[in-house]
Structure formats: structure tokens, C-alpha cells
Structure 1
């Protein structure tokens, strides 16, 4: 097994290169490089070539903390704000439907598996943790877990995290596949004929000079630092709790309108590489051994989470059909719930919908706040 930071980074980079080659030169191009990165990393990690996600791999934590926000910043520098008005409303509406579907799914899953009899004393906290994480991400998952002491039971916390991460990976596959599988059942009015593209974005070639790359890297690192500082200042001195990724997105959008920034090259390549590194870590989260160590509780939690996401999916795609929204918008909104803004952005690119990249980030950021409230509300309702 490769255990040093440099060797793990080399393996991740190699897997990204292989995924990109497969997505551009073989029949696997229909899956897109983003999905292939997740699947290949999950396979390699579970074969023991590199570690699965854990405290012994600081590289993974660094990618989550720094590289993923950098990817969001660089890709948002490419955004034309005029496109937001065309798709922002439907994406936000379906995202809210998805959040409601997650809450309904958590209640349904809790009932199906038998509640406290099957899940134990922490049954309500577990339901709140999964509600929070499938609306706004792992920040909400950990917030509920800390409040109710779930982390004190290390086996339960680690096993539940493994189930959560496995489902996040599976749902990415589902969201890539459903727009193709359901297209025959969708109203023709919802199948927009003026879409920006009809398949995965595979040509990301870009000519960039050293000056451009250095300027982009400096701009990105500075923006991430400033956004974290501003978020802390707002929280401490104004009492407003705004996720730093939302501050970062605002900075990126403002900078993206400046002619000086628009003339710089390299944002697309750097942004995609950062997002692919993030998705590789998502793949490493899928730890089969952690699931097996849970024993009898693993299948119970598995059923609970499957019911949750199935109800969520029925609500999101059912609402999209009733509202005559297109399948790709529904898939991106759903992925923003289950996987967060960064994975939703990657999904938008895999589906060939560059116009959905900004809405994916924005609704994913909104989920960070909404997920906390729904998570704690679920605990109160089931206690």
C-alpha cells in the first residue's frame, strides 16, 4: 500500500489521467471523467493500493479543505452572470423539493427499519445526521453528531459515515445515468432544444502561459484565505453565519466580470484538476471494510439510507416532471442535496450543462445552512 503523502498524490494524479483518457478515447466517454475518477479511486482504495479516507491520510483532508474551494473559485471565474437568470429558479426550486424529500425519506427510513428497536438509543440522532448531510453536506452531519454525542461511540459513528459515503458515491452514478434512462418518459416540452451541449464536456483544452497560471494560483489562494477571514469576521463581530464557500463564490463572480481577470487563461484547467482531486477523495470514502466491521447494524443502516434517497429521488424527479423541468436540472439539484455543490458542479459538466455550474454551487451553499435546521428538527421530531 502507498501510505506517504507524495505516493498517494501520485496515484490520485495517475487515476485522473487514466479517467480522462478513458472518457475521451473509449466507449466509457458516455460516463464522463468525473464519474470514472470516483469509481476508479473507490476500486483502488478498497483493493488496498492507497488508504481509504481517514485521519492517517492528511492529504485527503487538505484536498477537502483547500483544493475543493480552489476548484470552485477557478471554475466560477468562467461564469457569465447573464446565464443565471435562465436556470437559477428551476434549480433552486427542485433543490428545495429535494430537501423536503430528504426529510420525508429520513422519516420513512426510520419507520421501515423499526426505529429505536433496530438503530438503538441514537436512532433519532442518526436520522438527523443523515437528513443534514443529504441536504447540506458533511458539516451538518458532524454538527448533529457532536451535539448528541454520537462520536463517543466510535464504531457507530465510523460505520454510519461509511454508509453515508458509499451512498454518496452510488448517487453520483445514479444522477449521471437517470437523465439517459428516463428521457423516453419525459415530456418533450421539458427537453430543451437550445441546451448548451448534449453530452459530457470533453474538450477542456486551454493555452496558458506561466504568467497566467501563476496569477491564477495566487488569485485563488488569496481568495480562499480572504473568504475564510471574512466569514469568521462576520460570524464573530456581526453575528451572521455565512459559509465561507458562499463568500468565496461571491468573490469569484465579482472578479469574473473584470476584463483583467477575463484575459487570464488557465482557470478551466486548474479548476477541473482541483475538482477531479476532490472527486477522487470522494471515491476513497467508499470503505467496504468499515461497513463489514459494523456487523448486524450495517444492513439496517443500509436499508435506512436506501429508503431515504429513494424517497428523495422520487420527490425531486417527480416534481421535475410535474413542473416540466429538464432531467439534467433535476439531476444536478438532487446531487447538490446528496453530494454538495462541488459534486453537483462536476455532474453538470459530465452532463454537458455548463449553464448549470453556477446554480449547482449556489444551491449547494444554501444547503449548508438549510441542512443544519432540518437535521436538528428531525432529531426533535423522532426523539
Structure 2
């Protein structure tokens, strides 16, 4: 097996690379080209190139730390504002549309799974795509962890296929308002939100506010407690692969019962974004270019079929 410039046991060097790649991704989001690609893709590309040039190893204990600790910690951090009552109250008809879309995504995944063979890990990839299209990139990490899929090449190919399909998908969606007969059926509603902002962008006006060290510490403490209790309960119940699920349920319950308290801890979301970006750096580092190129086209068709249905 060929060695890399940085060997798997050089922990500090690898952490330096992962955090630098995450930082480059966040920086790229502030540029026109980076905003189109998304910070997550830029981060993956950085470590993907470094790994395939044999500068960093494709596997290392450091990557295991990210999977085992940073990913579970990031999930509750990103759900501090998941107040179910507020979501139901404010979503209105949008929630119904979301439910219909979720059902359609599930049906599309089932059809795509049986029509397009993805190999032994196919069911895991199908679950990840389905969860991602229903709940976004946070679900990508959570589902990958819960299904035990840690193959960086497959995950990188999945991210690449997903981004390409979603680009085409949004081009179609954005072109729909230009169709005259559709404008007559659906009245125009202008959104005041910036549709070009990245899902993992932390450079909005609120993010520029000075972060409180106390709130950073509090956010990490609450999330770590949620992980400790969640994984402990899962183990006690014999649900060894369900730790992430239990943690998610716990933090959503807390966000719903104590919405005004958790929603004020704005540092949580920012830390969660950072941890997720490091997770994407690990995905890129673990990827093999030959497998990504071979599997990516199949996953592109798979993802496209899900969205088409």
C-alpha cells in the first residue's frame, strides 16, 4: 500500500488539514464561484485532491474521531431551534406540501433502488439520498453514521451526484415561473429570503455578532449531554445503531419544550456548521478517484430518478 506524505498517525497535521479545508470551504462561500458550488463541495474537493495526490492518507484514526464524536455532536447543535410547535404554526400550507414531497421522495427512492443496482451498500446509499432530500445535509451525516456507511469514495460520489442533480433540478424549478400558463394557475409570491445563501453559510449578519464564550460552552455542554443520554439510552434498549436517532429525538423535545431558551443560544448552530464542514473534509479525504468516477454516474441517475418521481 502506497504511503502518504502525512502518515495516519500524525494527528496534529491531519487536524490542521481538515480544519484548513473547512475554512477554505467557508471562505469559498463568500465568492461567486464558491457560492455556486457550496462550501461543502469545495471542502470535499480540497481533501479529495490532497488524498489522491497522496499528501494525506485515505484512512486514519483522526477520521474515526470525526465520525464517532464530531458528527454526533453536530446533530444536536444544529437542532437547537427545532421547535415543532413553531414549525407547525408558521409553516401552514407549506407543511402539507412538505409532507407530500417527503412521501414522493420515499416512493422515488424505493423505485430507484429496485431499478438501479448499487451493490451491497445500495440500501445505505438509498437511505442517505432519501433522508437528504427530505431533511437536508444534516440528515446526510446522521444517516451515514446510523447506517454505518463510512466509505469516503461512495459518500464523495454521492455528494457530487447530489450537487449536480440538484443544480439541474433548481434550474428547472427556477424556469417554471416563466411558463405563462403556470403563472395563471399559481400566483406569484416573492420571497424575501436570499435564495443564493448556502445551507452551511455562517457569514450572515447575525453571524457577525460577537459570540459569547459562555454560550459556546453552554451549547457544547447541552449537546454533549444529549449525546451521552441518547447513546446511553440506545445501548440500554439494545438499539446500538440508533444512538443518533435517540439523540435527535431528545434535542427536538428540548427545543420544543424550552424554545425560548435554546433558540437564544445562537452559538450552537455556528459550531454545528463548523463540525459538519470538518465531516465533509473527512469524506473527501477518504475518497478514491477511480471509485468516485465509476460510481458517480450511476448515483447521478439514481438521484435524478428519485427527484423525477
Please indicate, yes or no, whether the TM-score normalized by the shorter chain is above 0.5: yes
Size of the aligned set, in residue pairs, is 273
Match of 2:139 in 1: none
1:75 and 1:271 in contact (8 A); partners too: yes
Say yes or no: does 1:48 pair with 2:44.
no
TM-score of the aligned structures, taking structure 2 as reference length: 0.73
1:169 and 1:283 in contact (8 A); partners too: no
Match of 1:255 in 2: 254
Say yes or no: does 1:313 pair with 2:307.
yes
Distance 1:9 1:61 in 2: 12
Match of 1:281 in 2: 282
> Which whole-Å deviations, capped at 9, do the CAs of 1:193-213 have from their partners, x for residues lacking one?
246432214313342222222
Distance 1:172 1:126 in 2: 17
2:162 and 2:300 in contact (8 A); partners too: no
Cα offset for 1:126?
A: 5.8
Q: Which has the higher helix share?
A: 1
Say yes or no: does 1:205 pair with 2:208.
yes
Q: Which runs of 5+ in 2 are unaligned?
A: 132-142
More off after superposition, 240-249 vs 31-40? 240-249
SS at match of 1:90: helix
Alignment of 1:233-382 (within 5 A): 233=236, 235-236=237-238, 243-256=242-255, 257-289=258-290, 291=291, 299=294, 304-315=298-309
Match of 1:37 in 2: 43
TM-score of the aligned structures, taking structure 1 as reference length: 0.60
1:45 and 1:51 in contact (8 A); partners too: yes
Alignment of 1:62-81 (within 5 A): 62-81=65-84
Distance 1:141 1:245 in 2: 10
Match of 2:138 in 1: none
1:71 and 1:274 in contact (8 A); partners too: yes
Alignment of 1:184-223 (within 5 A): 184-185=175-176, 187=182, 189=186, 192-194=189-191, 196-200=193-197, 201=201, 202-203=203-204, 204-223=207-226
Cα offset for 1:38?
A: 2.3
Q: Which runs of 5+ in 1 are unaligned?
A: 111-118, 144-157, 293-297, 316-383
- Please tell me the root mean square deviation across aligned C-alpha atoms, in Å: 3.4
Distance 1:229 1:142, change over 3 A: closer
